[in-house]
C-alpha cells in the first residue's frame, strides 16, 4: 500500500480515534477454503448487492460461525449447505447459527445489499469521481480491517482463502477488475456485463478486490524469469484515448519491472494468472493480488505495488506487528528498481530522503508493538514502516556485504513461506540460517529498537596517522548505542578513497594508517547508513593550546588560551588507544608522564563548539 504523505498526515491528525479497530471478534473455529463474491456494482455509487459464498472446514465444534460484516448492509438471507439458516447481524458481526462439527466442510451463502461507501483512504469501498479525468470509479481497499465493509469476512491474516472467484455485474459502459484470470465476460439480457474473475492462488482476505469504471483494457506481456509463456499485464485505464496514449510509456515499464524483480527473486509469484492495474482516484496504490489498484502509473508507485506481489501477497505478514515484511520490503523495491533502471545516484537520493523521513521520528521503531497493532496509522506509519523499514533492510544488505547471499536469503524466505504468512522472527531465522551469522543484535537495535545513532567524528592527521575520536548516542534513550559499519571517504589532493570503520561503542578512538595528506573527510556519501553523522576536523594550529616542554620526560604542562569554559580533554596514543580522559575548567594543567611509554601522544579537546588538538613526544 502506498499513499501520498501529505494526505497521510492530514488524515491521521483528524481521524485517528475513530479508525481504531474494535477488540478482535472471535472468528475462529473454521478455515476458509474458498470464497466467491457475486456482486452487482456500478461506477456511480458504492451500492452493491449480491451474495458471498464461502466454503470452510470446521476446525472445532461450533454453535455459530462468526464473520465480520458492516452493519451498513442488510442481510437478506443466509443459507448453510443450501438450507436456510438463522443468523444475527449486529455490532458489525454476522453470526450464523447451526451445529458445526469439527472436520466437516460447510458452505455458507450470504445474500446482502447496501451502501457502506466511505471517503477516507481506509474506507473499504469508495465511489468517487477522478477529478482530473472526470471519470467515476467504485473501488475497494480492505487493508487492514475493512474487507467487512464490502463482504462478510474472516479478517484473520493466517487464514488465507485457498481459491476465490469475484463475479461482478456492472452497467454496459463499465468494466470490472479483480484478482486472478478473467474466466469470462457475459452480456446479460438487460445489457449489463458480467466479469468473472477466478484465482487458484491462496489469498489474504484484504487482497480480494474490485474496481469498476468506464475502463479500456490495455494488455501487454512480460517474460518473467522461469516462465516459458508470457505473463499478461492487464491494465484497466479510464476509457480516454489521450490518457492511454500519454500513459503507455509508464505502463509499459511494468514489463521491465516484472522481468527485473522475477530475475532477482527467481520467479513471479502468480505465473498461471497475471499481473495488472486498475486506475482509481485513491491517492496512492494498493497491491491487490495480481491486480493492483492505483491512482497513477508513476515509477515508484508501480514498482512498490509490484514488489508487494512477493512481499505482502505471496508471503503475507503474519500479524500487523510484522508489517515491515510488507511495507519495508515493498519500499525497498522502489530503491532496487531505481538503482537498476535509473542508476545508483537516483537510488542514493531516494535512500537519503528515506533517511530524512526516519530522522523525523527520533523515538520511532519499525516494529509495531501489539498494543498499537490495531491502529491503522501506526501500522502504516510512512516514516517508520515504509522509509525506516526500507533503510534498515538496505543496511542488512550492506552488513551482509555479499549480494548473492543477501538475495539468496530473500529467496529462501519467499520459498519457505510462499502462499502463506511469515513473522519477522521467521524472516530473521531464515536470514540467520542462510548467512550462517547471528543477526539478533542487528534487529534488536534497528528493528525493535528506537531511533537511530547520532554520531560525531573528530579527526586529525599526524604524519601517516589518521586519528578519529568517535562519539555516538541514540536519538532515543531507549536505544543508547548502535553497532554498525560506516564508510568514510578521505579526500586528498588528486583523489579520494573510502574506508569502512566499525562503530560499536558510545565513545571510541581509532587510528588509521593513511599515507596521503587528508584535506577533508565525509561520512556515508552513498546514504547507506541510517545515522546522523557530523565530521569535524580538529584545529591543530596551536592557537588554543600550548604544550611544554616538548619532548617531555617527566611532566608536561597544558596551557589553554580560552578561559572559564568546560573542556573535555582526551589523551590518546598514535595507535588510537585512549590513555586518559578528564573534564576540567582549569586553564593550566600538569600531567605526570614519568611512567608513560615513549612515543607520540595527542591531546584532543572539545570545548563548546571548537575542537582542537596538539601533540607531544615522550623520548
Ligand atoms: Zn505498500
Per-residue pLDDT of 597-606, as tens digits, reads: 999 999 999 8
409 has a pLDDT exceeding 80: yes
Q: How far is the CA of 337 from the centre of ligand 1 (A)?
A: 15
To 10 degrees, the CA torsion angle through 397, 399, 401, 406? -30
pLDDT of residue 12: 43
DSSP 27: -
Q: What CATH class does 2-317 carry?
A: mainly beta
Check if the beta carbon of residue 1 is closer than 8 Å to that of residue 143: yes
Q: How far is the CA of 536 from the centre of ligand 1 (A)?
A: 39
Task: Indicate the length of the chain as a whole number.
Answer: 619
Q: How far is the CA of 8 from the centre of ligand 1 (A)?
A: 14
87 has a pLDDT exceeding 50: yes
Over the stretch 571-597, which tens digit does the pLDDT of each residue have? Answer: 998 888 889 999 999 999 999 999 999
Q: Average pLDDT of 354-373?
A: 97
Nearest to 575 by CA among 538, 600, 554: 600
Residue 51: partners with Cβ closer than 8 Å, 6 or more residues away: 37, 38, 39, 109, 110, 111, 112
Pairwise CA distance, residues 525 & 514, whole Å:
19
409 sits in which H/E element: helix 403-416
Q: How far is the CA of 408 from the centre of ligand 1 (A)?
A: 22
Q: How far is the CA of 19 from the centre of ligand 1 (A)?
A: 19
Q: Average pLDDT of 110-124?
A: 93
Q: How far is the CA of 528 from the centre of ligand 1 (A)?
A: 22
Query: What CATH architecture applies to the domain 453-535?
Result: Sandwich (2.60)
pLDDT of residue 90: 96
Query: CA neighbours within 13 Å on the CB side: how many for 354?
Result: 29
Pairwise CA distance, residues 44 & 510, whole Å:
68
Over the stretch 344-362, which tens digit does the pLDDT of each residue have? Answer: 999 999 999 999 999 999 9
Residue 149: partners with Cβ closer than 8 Å, 6 or more residues away: 70, 72, 116, 118, 123, 124, 125, 140, 142
| 545-618 CATH | 2.60.40.3080
Model confidence band, residue 541 (pLDDT cutoffs 50, 70, 90) = confident
pLDDT of residue 251: 98
Lowest-confidence pick of 280-289, 326-335, 555-564: 555-564
3 has a pLDDT exceeding 80: no
Pairwise CA distance, residues 49 & 53, whole Å:
13
Q: How far is the CA of 382 from the centre of ligand 1 (A)?
A: 10
Instruction: Give the max Cα distance, the chain.
Output: 107
17 has a pLDDT exceeding 60: no
pLDDT: which is higher, 20 or 271: 271
Q: How far is the CA of 286 from the centre of ligand 1 (A)?
A: 7
Average pLDDT of every residue of the chain: 94
DSSP per-residue letters across 559-591: EESS-S--EEEEEEETTS-EEEEEEE--SEEEE
DSSP 322: G
Check if the beta carbon of residue 275 is closer than 8 Å to that of residue 262: no
Q: How far is the CA of 3 from the centre of ligand 1 (A)?
A: 8
Residue 291: partners with Cβ closer than 8 Å, 6 or more residues away: 177, 178, 179, 209, 211, 234, 274, 275, 276, 277, 278
| CA 506 distance to own-chain centroid | 29
Q: How far is the CA of 287 from the centre of ligand 1 (A)?
A: 7
Residue 222, beta-bridge partner list: 231
Percent of the chain with pLDDT over 70: 97
Pairwise CA distance, residues 486 & 290, whole Å:
40
Percent of the chain with pLDDT over 90: 90
Lowest-confidence pick of 148-152, 353-357, 415-419, 551-555: 551-555
Structural domain boundaries in the chain: 2-317, 344-448, 453-535, 545-618
What does the block give as the cell for 399?
A: 552488513
304 sits in which H/E element: helix 299-307
Pairwise CA distance, residues 38 & 268, whole Å:
28
What does the block give as the cell for 278?
A: 486498475
Tell me the C-alpha to C-alpha distance, in Å, between residue 323 and each of 332, 348, 355. 14, 24, 19
Q: How far is the CA of 354 from the centre of ligand 1 (A)?
A: 15
Parallel, antiparallel, or unpaired: how do β-strands 284-286 and 2-3 relate?
antiparallel
Q: How far is the CA of 571 from the centre of ligand 1 (A)?
A: 51
Q: How far is the CA of 305 from the centre of ligand 1 (A)?
A: 6
Q: How far is the CA of 426 from the centre of ligand 1 (A)?
A: 20
Q: How far is the CA of 498 from the centre of ligand 1 (A)?
A: 34
pLDDT of residue 592: 93
Q: How far is the CA of 158 from the centre of ligand 1 (A)?
A: 19
Q: How far is the CA of 326 from the centre of ligand 1 (A)?
A: 7
7 has a pLDDT exceeding 90: no
Q: How far is the CA of 508 from the centre of ligand 1 (A)?
A: 39
Pairwise CA distance, residues 452 & 527, whole Å:
14
Over the stretch 268-305, which tens digit does the pLDDT of each residue have? Answer: 999 999 999 999 999 999 999 999 999 999 999 999 99
Pairwise CA distance, residues 139 & 125, whole Å:
6
Pairwise CA distance, residues 467 & 577, whole Å:
10
Please state, as a whole number, how many other Cβ atoms lie within 10 Å of the Cβ of residue 386. Answer: 29
The complex's ipTM? 0.99
Whether omega for the bond prior to residue 551 falls within 30 degrees of 0, making it cis, is yes
Over the stretch 436-445, which tens digit does the pLDDT of each residue have? Answer: 999 999 999 9
Whether omega for the bond prior to residue 144 falls within 30 degrees of 0, making it cis, is yes
Q: How far is the CA of 2 from the centre of ligand 1 (A)?
A: 5
Pairwise CA distance, residues 355 & 453, whole Å:
12
pLDDT of residue 617: 93
Residue 219, beta-bridge partner list: 234
| CA 384 distance to own-chain centroid | 8
Model confidence band, residue 1 (pLDDT cutoffs 50, 70, 90) = confident
Two domains, one topology: 2-317 and 545-618:
yes
303 three-class SS: helix
Whether omega for the bond prior to residue 549 falls within 30 degrees of 0, making it cis, is yes
Q: How far is the CA of 308 from the centre of ligand 1 (A)?
A: 7
Residue reference for cell 501520498: 4
What does the block give as the cell for 311?
A: 512481499
pLDDT of residue 4: 56
What does the block give as the cell for 340?
A: 537498476
Amino acid at each position: 500500500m502506498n499513499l501520498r504523505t501529505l494526505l497521510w498526515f492530514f488524515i491521521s491528525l483528524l481521524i485517528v480515534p475513530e479508525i481504531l479497530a474494535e477488540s478482535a471478534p472471535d472468528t475462529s473455529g473454521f478455515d476458509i477454503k474458498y470464497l466467491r463474491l457475486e456482486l452487482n456494482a456500478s461506477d456511480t455509487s458504492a451500492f452493491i448487492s449480491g451474495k458471498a459464498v464461502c466454503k470452510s472446514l470446521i476446525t472445532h465444534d461450533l454453535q455459530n460461525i462468526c464473520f465480520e460484516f458492516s452493519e451498513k448492509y442488510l442481510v437478506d438471507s443466509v443459507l448453510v449447505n443450501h438450507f436456510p439458516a438463522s443468523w444475527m447481524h449486529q455490532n458489525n458481526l454476522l453470526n450464523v447459527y447451526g451445529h458445526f462439527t469439527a472436520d466437516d466442510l460447510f458452505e455458507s451463502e450470504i445474500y446482502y445489499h447496501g451502501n457502506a461507501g466511505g471517503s477516507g483512504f481506509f474506507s473499504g469501498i469508495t465511489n468517487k469521481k477522478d477529478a482530473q479525468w472526470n471519470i467515476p470509479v467504485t473501488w475497494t481497499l480492505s487493508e487492514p480491517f475493512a474487507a467487512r465493509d464490502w463482504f462478510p469476512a474472516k479478517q484473520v491474516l493466517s487464514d488465507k482463502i485457498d481459491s476465490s472467484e469475484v463475479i461482478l455485474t456492472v452497467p454496459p459502459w463499465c468494466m470490472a477488475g479483480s484478482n486472478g484470470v478473467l474466466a469470462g465476460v457475459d452480456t446479460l439480457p438487460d445489457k449489463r456485463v458480467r466479469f468473472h474473475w477466478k484465482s487458484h492462488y491462496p489469498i489474504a482476505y484484504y487482497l480480494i478486490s474490485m474496481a469498476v469504471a468506464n475502463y479500456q483494457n490495455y494488455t501487454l506481456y512480460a517474460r518473467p524469469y522461469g516462465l516459458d509463456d508470457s505473463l499478461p499485464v492487464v491494465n484497466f485505464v479510464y476509457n480516454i484515448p489521450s490518457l492511454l496514449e500519454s500513459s503507455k510509456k509508464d505502463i509499459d515499464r511494468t514489463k521491465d519491472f516484472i522481468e527485473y524483480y522475477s530475475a532477482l527473486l527467481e520467479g513471479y509469484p502468480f505465473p498461471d494468472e497475471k499481473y495488472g492495474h486498475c486506475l482509481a482516484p485513491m491517492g496512492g496504490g494498493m497491491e491487490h493480488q495480481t491486480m493492483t489498484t492505483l491512482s497513477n502509473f508513476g515509477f515508484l508507485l508501480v514498482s512498490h505495488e509490484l514488489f508487494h506481489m512477493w512481499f505482502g501477497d505471496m508471503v503475507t505478514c503474519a500479524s500487523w506487528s510484522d508489517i515491515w515484511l510488507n511495507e519495508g520490503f515493498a519500499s525497498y523495491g522502489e530503491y532496487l528498481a531505481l538503482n537498476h533502471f535509473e542508476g545508483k545516484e537516483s537510488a542514493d537520493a531516494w535512500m537519503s530522503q528515506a533517511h530524512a523521513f526516519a530522522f523525523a521520528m527520533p523515538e520511532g521503531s519499525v516494529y509495531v508493538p501489539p498494543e498499537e497493532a490495531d491502529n491503522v496509522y501506526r501500522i502504516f506509519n510512512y516514516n517508520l514502516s515504509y522509509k525506516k523499514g526500507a533503510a534498515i533492510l538496505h543496511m542488512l544488505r550492506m552488513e551482509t556485504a555479499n549480494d548473492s547471499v543477501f538475495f539468496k536469503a530473500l529467496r529462501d524466505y519467499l520459498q519457505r513461506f510462499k502462499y502463506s504468512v511469515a513473522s519477522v522472527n521467521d524472516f530473521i531465522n531464515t536470514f540467520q540460517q542462510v548467512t550462517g551469522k547471528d543477526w539478533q543484535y542487528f534487529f534488536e537495535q534497528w528493528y525493535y529498537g528506537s531511533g537511530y545513532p547520532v554520531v560525531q567524528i573528530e579527526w586529525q592527521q599526524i604524519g601517516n596517522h589518521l586519528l578519529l575520536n568517535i562519539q555516538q548516542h541514540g536519538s532515543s534513550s531507549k536505544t543508547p548505542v548502535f553497532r554498525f559499519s560506516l564508510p568514510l571517504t578521505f579526500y586528498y589532493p588528486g583523489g579520494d578513497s573510502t574506508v569502512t570503520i566499525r562503530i560499536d561503542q558510545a565513545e571510541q578512538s581509532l587510528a588509521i594508517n593513511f599515507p596521503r595528506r587528508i584535506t577533508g573527510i565525509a561520512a556515508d556519501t552513498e546514504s547507506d547508513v541510517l545515522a546522523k553523522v557530523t565530521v569535524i576536523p580538529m584545529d591543530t594550529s596551536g592557537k588554543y593550546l600550548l604544550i611544554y616542554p616538548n619532548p617531555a620526560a617527566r611532566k608536561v604542562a597544558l596551557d589553554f588560551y580560552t578561559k572559564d569554559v568546560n573542556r573535555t580533554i582526551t589523551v590518546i596514543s598514535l595507535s588510537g588507544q585512549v590513555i586518559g580522559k578528564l573534564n576540567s575548567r582549569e586553564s593550566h594543567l600538569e600531567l605526570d608522564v614519568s611512567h608513560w611509554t615513549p612515543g607520540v601522544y595527542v591531546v584532543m579537546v572539545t570545548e563548546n563548539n571548537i575542537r582542537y588538538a596538539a601533540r607531544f613526544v615522550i623520548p
